[in-house]
Structure 1
Amino acid sequence: MSDQDRAQRVSRLRYRSWRRGTREMDLLLGPFADRHLPAMGEAELGAYERLLEQSDPDLMIWLTGQAAPPPELDSTLRALLQRAAEVIRQGSAIAAGQRKTNS
């Protein structure tokens, strides 16, 4: 894949991350995509594309830790979901700490 093709793919994935259909998912996946997509390899980008094919309600419960992703998802996608969930939880903890100190 050429650099231009890769840049277009990453750009398309970022756009899809920020425009999911529900604002909550936009706010979870958008910042994650901005920060992590440029450094992902081809396998991870493919897994991220598959992640974006999942429904928002399913993604929400998986990313917030309310339920584990189903075992039938491939291992690359499961690893990516786990990584995204960790980043999201860290971001939530930081934001909560900032709200506390600003109150």
Structure 2
Amino acid sequence: MTAGDDIAIRRKMIRYRAWHRGTREMDLVLGPFADAHVESMDSPALDRLERLMSEEDPALLTWVMGQATPPDSVDRAFLDIVIADHSARTRQ
């Protein structure tokens, strides 16, 4: 297996996890984001997405919806990218 195969498998797994979160609301935030961006992400960007996806859905949803401020441990810059992507999709 090559490094290219490894990252392709990783991208597939991330896309699957993004669409099968456990809560439909987060599926609809992270699934479309993953579909649109995962194929162009390098390994460090995939790391950032996986770290964000490791957060619990209820907390993550409040951050995406602007109902709560994420803790300092959360990659706010990357979360802002996900939020902007979701906002652009819901405005269409």
TM-score, normalized by length of structure 2?
0.91
> Which portions of structure 1, spanning 4 or more consecutive aligned residues, are displaced by more than 2 angstroms?
none
Q: What is the deviation of 1:48?
A: 0.8
**Higher RCO structure, 1 or 2 (CA under 8 Å, sep 6+):** 2
What is the TM-score when the length of structure 1 is the normalising length? Answer: 0.82
Deviation sequence 1:50-91 (CA, Å, 0-9, x none): 111100011101112222221122xxx322111000010111
Does residue 52 (structure 1) correspond to residue 64 (structure 2)? The answer is no
Calculate percent identity across the aligned residue pairs.
Answer: 43
- The separation in 1 between residues aligned to 2:34 and 2:62, in whole angstroms, is 18
- Which residue does 1:65 correspond to in 2? 66
2:76 matched to 1:78?
yes
Task: Give the Cα separation in 1 of the matches to 2:64 and 2:42.
Answer: 21
Instruction: Structure 1: state its 5+ residue gaps.
Output: 95-103
2:38 and 2:69 map into 1 onto residues whose CA distance is 23
Quick check: which has more Rg, 1 or 2?
1
Report how many aligned residue pairs link the two structures. Answer: 91
Structure 2 residue ranges without an equivalent (≥5): none
Q: In the alignment, is residue 43 of structure 1 matched against residue 41 of structure 2?
A: no
Provide the rounded CA distance (Å) in 2 between the counterparts of 1:72 and 1:48: 14
Which digits, 9 at most, give the CA deviation of each residue in 1:22-44, with x for residues without a partner? 11111111010000111112111
